Copies of this chain bind each other. A is one copy, B any other.
Amino acid sequence: MDGHRIALDAMGGDHAPHVTLQGAREALEAWPGLFLYLVGDEAVLRPALAKHGFSAALLARAEVVHASQVVSMEDKATSILKEKKDSSIRIAAQLVREGKAHGMVSMGHTGAAMVASSLVIGKLEGVDRPALASVMPNTQGGPTVLLDVGANVDCRADHIAQFAVMGSVYAEEVLGLERPRVGILSVGEEDGKGTDVTKDASAMLRELEIRFEGNAEGRDIWNGNFDVIACDGFVGNVVLKSSEALAEGIIGGLKDSFMESAITKLAGLMARPALRRFKQRLDYTEYGGAPLLGVKGVSIIGHGRSDHKAVRNAIRAALRAVEHRLHERIQERVAQLLPQD
């Protein structure tokens, strides 16, 4: 049991356990230092392992951990605390809490994964609200970290300032960006623009040793002018869901345009490799999942509709975060930069 140990909620997501097991196998093949706990109903998982091509060599680095329940989309996020105590999400979090795993990955119920991370793994000291960070592909070809996108509504200024600090650590340690440029999402570039909350959060960040560059606007999420943009979870969630739908609508409309006539169909065929490369740049599965920052371990939360590639990349994101001791770095910076009074 050497190496980095990740607990995978093998039952979470729209296409579980097939895509989770396929993604798990690919991850084990790709990263020799990885050990995976596959959490879920063993009556389902054990027979499926062979079918998904887990060799004896791979099985030496994987262990099925039984969980009798699954959190469904109809369940409440807090169901893991009562009715769904033996759910795969909760058991995965339990493995992290007990120190058996260094991190967890779930493509299941986002709210339940957040509750499991915050309450079972537990929050870092000094962090009131863990924040879900989404890595957006910007038009410069790099990543921009937007957080919180996890529906933390009614945030105070110090919450948003903490989001900014945690996002900055993530961008630096895990994404490898040097001295990441940090902004606060607002309605204008000028310092005077925004709500009392954004203005107070800005004032706090100006005192800190991070590279704070003031207000970011909506367009800055995409243009690469900032590496990290902090906002309350209401705005972040709305922007994330709206952006996903807009991008899908545009790509879908484009596909329809290529179906118009024989000529456009031929054109589509000719342009297909270029279009595929283009689409890849927008592809959320590239980053695999969103890290929940501010908990005592690594937690990566993916889309319910994730495919095997997204699962593999979410495991990679967890692995990198574990390698960089992400939560310890965040703990140091939060303690150092935001002294509690």
What CA separation (Å) do A243 and B245 show in the bound complex? 10
Give the residues from 189 to 235 in chain A that come closer than 8 angstroms, CB to CB, to chain B. 193-196, 217-223, 231, 233-235
Interface residues on A, range: 35 or more
Q: Would B278 and A257 count as touching, CB distance under 8 A?
A: yes
Give the residues from 215 to 265 in chain A that come closer than 8 angstroms, CB to CB, to chain B. 217-223, 231, 233-235, 237-247, 249-254, 256-258, 260-261, 263-264
**Chain multiplicity (copies):** 2
Q: Would B253 and A239 count as touching, CB distance under 8 A?
A: no
A15 interface residue (CB < 8 Å to B): no
Please, which residues of chain B bring their CB within 8 A of the CB of A277? 257
A139 interface residue (CB < 8 Å to B): yes
What CA separation (Å) do A258 and B275 show in the bound complex? 8
Closest-by-CB residue of B relative to A152 is B187
Please, which residues of chain B bring their CB within 8 A of the CB of A250? 247, 250-251, 282
A268 interface residue (CB < 8 Å to B): yes
Closest-by-CB residue of B relative to A146 is B242
What CA separation (Å) do A278 and B259 show in the bound complex? 12
Give the residues from 172 to 186 in chain A that come closer than 8 angstroms, CB to CB, to chain B. 185-186
What CA separation (Å) do A241 and B264 show in the bound complex? 32
What CA separation (Å) do A70 and B218 show in the bound complex? 27
Partner of A253, one of B193, B219, B261, B281: B281
A274 interface residue (CB < 8 Å to B): yes
Known interface pairs A187-B234, A242-B222; A270-B275 also in contact (CB < 8 Å): no
What CA separation (Å) do A286 and B222 show in the bound complex? 24
Q: In angstroms, how far is the closest chain B Cβ from the Cβ of A69?
A: 22
A154 interface residue (CB < 8 Å to B): yes
Known interface pairs A153-B187, A250-B282; A257-B244 also in contact (CB < 8 Å): no
Q: In angstroms, how far is the closest chain B Cβ from the Cβ of A327?
A: 26
Please, which residues of chain B bring their CB within 8 A of the CB of A188? 151
